[in-house]
Amino acid sequence: MLKAVSVRLYTSLLVLVGTMVLVFCIVNVLPGDPALLILDPSSATPEMIANLREQLGLNQPFYERFGEYFLHVLQGDFGKSIVNSEPVLPKIVEHFPATLALTALSSLIAVVIGVTLGVLSAIHRNRWIDIVARMVGLFGISMPTFWSGILLILIFSVQLGWFPAMGSDGFSTLVLPAITLGFVGSGFIVRMVRNSMLEVINEPFIVTLRAKGLPGRFIMYKHALRNALIPALTMVGVIIGDLMAGTVVIETVFSRQGIGRIIADAIMAKDLPVVQGVIFFSAIVYIVVNLLVDISYTLIDPRVRRTG
């Protein structure tokens, strides 16, 4: 098992380097000339453009620029903001806890609501709880968060005054954004758990258990649920990543501080080093989360342990 984990760790590192190349290419190569993206070509003088190109290191060949960036990243230097020359990494680290809290709480909401409703809906198929679960699933994946968030602000902040509409101090400011984001996640998880549970319920081994005369509840929670949750667990890693990406919109809607807000502002200001830094940082977090999910997978599913 230790071997499986170390192999997984090694491939994750390789993927991480690949991701660094990709992010670097998107930000530095895709626009053609980043200097022209940052400065308005109609009003900027050729000297301004030349200066910025010098500052961004655009005069060097691509591989040199990437090599330099790579070495700096290894030393924990993600570059400096073009707008205010602040170093990128400390700023990300400073604001990451707020985003982490939001992602964690919304993932918790998503998993609790999603798994509970998904399981109940599969067991009580076509009953009212199943209809509720399917509605949650459909609305969860169909409502844009920037709209549902605004509706929540309208109802719970503007009308009822229960929660603050914006800010990032204290738990009360976390409630509405986490519900908004968690609802989306629960939509995906409900659909997935329901499908996977229904599939397991039809498996021959469940029929055998029934034939043996085991009580239905025991079969469902002891045997069916365990098997149904394994495919669901893989998706949870992906969903946590999506929820983290979702904070870009949510932190803008609720005016929260966090790395989602940093990247949204950086995009508006065309602050490419910051954009690059935040995306690469998020990719690291995402890879780590999925690594943890994979490892927990081997702990839960004995079949993976044996073959891995």
- The residue ranges that bind other proteins (CB under 8 A) are 15-16, 18-19, 21-23, 26-27, 30-31, 34, 37, 138-139, 141-148, 150-151, 153-154, 158, 195-196, 198-199, 202, 241-242, 244-246, 248-249, 252-253, 263-264, 267-268, 270, 272, 275, 279, 282-283, 286-287
The span from the CA of 271 to the CA of 268, in Å, is 8
Minimum distance, C-beta of residue 259 to other proteins, in the bound complex (Å) = 11
280: nearest Cα among 95, 89, 57, 98: 89
Minimum distance, C-beta of residue 221 to other proteins, in the bound complex (Å) = 19
Q: Would you call 52 helix, strand, or coil by DSSP? A: helix
Contacts of 192 (CB under 8 A, 6+ apart): 114, 118, 231, 232, 235
Minimum distance, C-beta of residue 31 to other proteins, in the bound complex (Å) = 5
| CB nearer to other proteins: pick between 1 and 21 | 21
Minimum distance, C-beta of residue 268 to other proteins, in the bound complex (Å) = 6
Minimum distance, C-beta of residue 116 to other proteins, in the bound complex (Å) = 19
The span from the CA of 173 to the CA of 165, in Å, is 7
Helix (H) or strand (E) holding 256: none
| CB nearer to other proteins: pick between 98 and 152 | 152
| CB nearer to other proteins: pick between 171 and 231 | 231
DSSP 159: I
Tell me if 149 sits within 8 A of 166, measured CB to CB: no
Determine how many CB atoms are found less than 10 A away from the CB of residue 47. 8
Minimum distance, C-beta of residue 109 to other proteins, in the bound complex (Å) = 18
Report the Cα–Cα distance between both ends of the chain, in Å, rounded. 7
| CB nearer to other proteins: pick between 242 and 301 | 242
Which parts of the chain are beta strand (E)?
A: none
The span from the CA of 62 to the CA of 151, in Å, is 47
| CB nearer to other proteins: pick between 236 and 264 | 264
Minimum distance, C-beta of residue 213 to other proteins, in the bound complex (Å) = 25
297: nearest Cα among 251, 222, 198, 231: 231
| CB nearer to other proteins: pick between 2 and 156 | 156
| CB nearer to other proteins: pick between 92 and 244 | 244
